[in-house]
Amino acid sequence: MKLEETYIRLRTHFHNVGEEEQVDVTMQQLADDLFYTLRNLRIIIKKMEEVGWLTWIPGRGRGNRSSIIFHLTKEEAQLQFFKSMIFDGRENEAFIRVETEAPSIMLELTDWYYHSKFIVYYDPAIQRQFINIRELITKENVAIYCSAIKESLEHATEGFTILIDMNGEKINTPDVEGEMEELRSLVVSKKPSAIALYTHAEYMYPYLKQRMDEMGHNKIFPTKKEAEAYLDAF
């Protein structure tokens, strides 16, 4: 289960508690209510704290009540979760589920999907930026592409990884090379630990390798699974 899904369960469980509002709870009570072992719940809570979604204030002494403060809204977690589903190619499932599980974000998700030229988002839970290039990058849309990358990079922390889907076989036209070079320099300055790109179009490898060589640890793979395995090692 993705971290976003667990956070959504937490916010659903505490549906009457607002963001930045402190609520008392015991770890055992929470584990029982959410059907987790104490060990797994502690790991999950720690991960959520690390990415800034909540604050856990442990109680003093055995059995004493602790406190939890939520910083991320349920809707923000849902939006992140459904974006990740769409990036994985599960568009139909995502839109069917959002209609019943999160109708309040349907418009925002639909707008992001249909009006965005490129699927770009940053997942703080695994410190990874996802990029899916869906159309040729030209003078007409390069500003949109660069803006999307820059916006997601604002949330990136040093050592993050980047996964790029190029299965649409879309690259950029020569007249936008200046903007692309500036963008590559920005990516390098953010100090990613590794970049992986995957595409089934082997004829593109020489071109893509030339563009990626200056950006540190990076490789090109034929499948998403291989690319993810490479990044997971960092």
Residue-level pLDDT, tens digit, the chain, 234 residues: 788 999 999 999 999 999 999 999 988 888 998 899 999 999 999 999 988 899 999 887 666 789 999 999 999 999 989 988 887 778 889 999 999 999 999 999 988 777 666 778 888 888 999 988 877 888 888 888 888 888 888 888 889 999 998 877 677 888 888 998 888 888 888 889 999 999 888 777 787 777 777 667 789 999 999 999 999 998
Rounded Cα–Cα distance for residues 156 and 125 (Å): 11
Domain 3-7+19-70 carries which CATH code? Answer: 1.10.10.10
Rounded Cα–Cα distance for residues 85 and 63 (Å): 39
Sequence ranges of the domains in the chain: 3-7+19-70, 73-115, 116-232
- Confidence (pTM): 0.65
CA angle, residues 160, 227, 5, in degrees to nearest 5: 65
Q: Which CATH superfamily is domain 116-232 in?
A: STAS domain (3.30.750.24)
Residue 196's Cβ-side half-sphere holds a number of Cα atoms within 13 Å equal to: 19
Instruction: Please state whether beta strands 194-198 and 161-165 pair in parallel, antiparallel, or not at all (unpaired).
Output: parallel
DSSP strands (E only) in 94-224:
118-123, 128-133, 161-165, 194-198, 218-221
